[in-house]
Structure 1
Amino acid sequence: MNAQDPLSELRDIHLPEPGGFWPPAPGWWILAILLLAAFATLAWLYLRRRRRNRWLRSARAELARLERSAVPEPWWFVQLNTLLKQAARERYPEQHPEALSGEAWVEFLLATAPKDRVASRPVAEELVHSAWRPSVSTEPAQALAFARLWLGGQKC
């Protein structure tokens, strides 16, 4: 080392070590919290909707079972009416549809049906009245189509 040259005693410039990925910057923390909150909210909404629509899934499964065992017998129409009343009780609890029968039940079904009420009236009447007659005058396929239409239009 030369005492005459003080610059020769200086060390080279050292850059600081690059920052690691941890701990993240505050903006990343905020983004992570927002994403977690959004995911939790979406999961909660999804589970709430599934829980509220449990009756509809159950009714559709029961309708599929009735479709497999469809026969033009009064007992079969009683089961279909029971299914529709249970579904109506879940969907419209304030109107107490389980207490309705006869023409009042037909009117309720038509009033809450999603579409094509005029064409559905004869089918709905036969669906309700076939449960109490000794001989059935309608086809189970028509009653199933009406029930499927009525259940398909139910939203929660």
Structure 2
Amino acid sequence: MQANEIPALPLRDIKLPAEPGFWPLAPGWWLLLVLSLLLLTWLAVKWYRYVQKKRRWQQIEHQLAEIELQFKQSNNKQNLLAEISVFLRRFVKFQLQQKKATTLAGQQWTDHLNQLQQEQPFLPFEQALTTGVYQHNFDYDATELLKTTRQFIKQHVMKPAKPQTQEVANV
């Protein structure tokens, strides 16, 4: 043996620690999991509300279609005007949940309907909805009234406005 040679020592092999497992998850993964669950819950709630709105719109559309069909069969403008007036009152009472507004009459009723939207859709039909309901042969554009009513209701069902905190005036 030479003097410079180092004798081989009986060393054991290096044991590496076990690789980290999949479980338990690191805190970042838990955060990501919680955020994704919150996102999925939010999306599910949005989807459910959209389906409810769509179903409600289909039911209302069906009622409007029945009113329109009755008008086309009878061609009675007076009856259509009465049906639309009652339909709008039911809509405001149950869909918009403004129970006190349905007690309004005449000009106050049409003003209330017009203030629910900026473009005031029932302005051309004020006379028809206030006094025309009680007159025998009142002339108005029936198809335009049906179209306006349908658009008014669809906007409030599918894209409801923010709830107003002020009560209906003059009740």
For 1:70 and 1:34, locate their aligned partners in 2 and report how far apart those are by CA, in whole Å. Answer: 54
Aligned to 1:91: 96
1:60 Cα deviation after fit: 3.8
Which one-letter code corresponds to 1:142 in the other structure? Answer: E
Aligned to 2:82: 78
TM-score by length of structure 1 reads 0.69
For 1:18 and 1:63, locate their aligned partners in 2 and report how far apart those are by CA, in whole Å. Answer: 68
For 2:17 and 2:115, locate their aligned partners in 1 and report how far apart those are by CA, in whole Å. Answer: 76
Aligned to 1:148: 150
TM-score by length of structure 2 reads 0.64
For 2:129 and 2:56, locate their aligned partners in 1 and report how far apart those are by CA, in whole Å. Answer: 20
Aligned to 1:16: 17
Aligned to 1:107: 111
Which one-letter code corresponds to 2:124 in the other structure? Answer: P
For 2:28 and 2:123, locate their aligned partners in 1 and report how far apart those are by CA, in whole Å. Answer: 62
Which one-letter code corresponds to 2:13 in the other structure? Answer: D
Which one-letter code corresponds to 1:78 in the other structure? Answer: A
User: In the TM superposition, what whole-angstrom CA distance separates every residue of 1:58-78 from its partner, at most 9, and x where no partner exists?
Assistant: 434422443344334222222
Aligned to 2:29: 28
Bigger helix fraction: 1
For 2:89 and 2:64, locate their aligned partners in 1 and report how far apart those are by CA, in whole Å. Answer: 13
User: In the TM superposition, what whole-angstrom CA distance separates every residue of 1:93-116 from its partner, at most 9, and x where no partner exists?
Assistant: 26x121123332222222223305
For 2:136 and 2:109, locate their aligned partners in 1 and report how far apart those are by CA, in whole Å. Answer: 20
- Asked whether the equivalents of residues 101 and 109 of structure 2 are also in contact (C-alpha less than 8 Å), the reply is yes
For 2:70 and 2:118, locate their aligned partners in 1 and report how far apart those are by CA, in whole Å. Answer: 26
Segments of structure 1 that go 5 or more residues without pairing to the other structure are none
Aligned to 2:169: none
- Asked whether the equivalents of residues 114 and 149 of structure 1 are also in contact (C-alpha less than 8 Å), the reply is no
1:41 Cα deviation after fit: 4.1
Segments of structure 2 that go 5 or more residues without pairing to the other structure are 1-5, 162-171
Identity over aligned residues, as a percent? 23
Q: Would you say 1:63 and 2:64 are equivalent positions?
A: yes
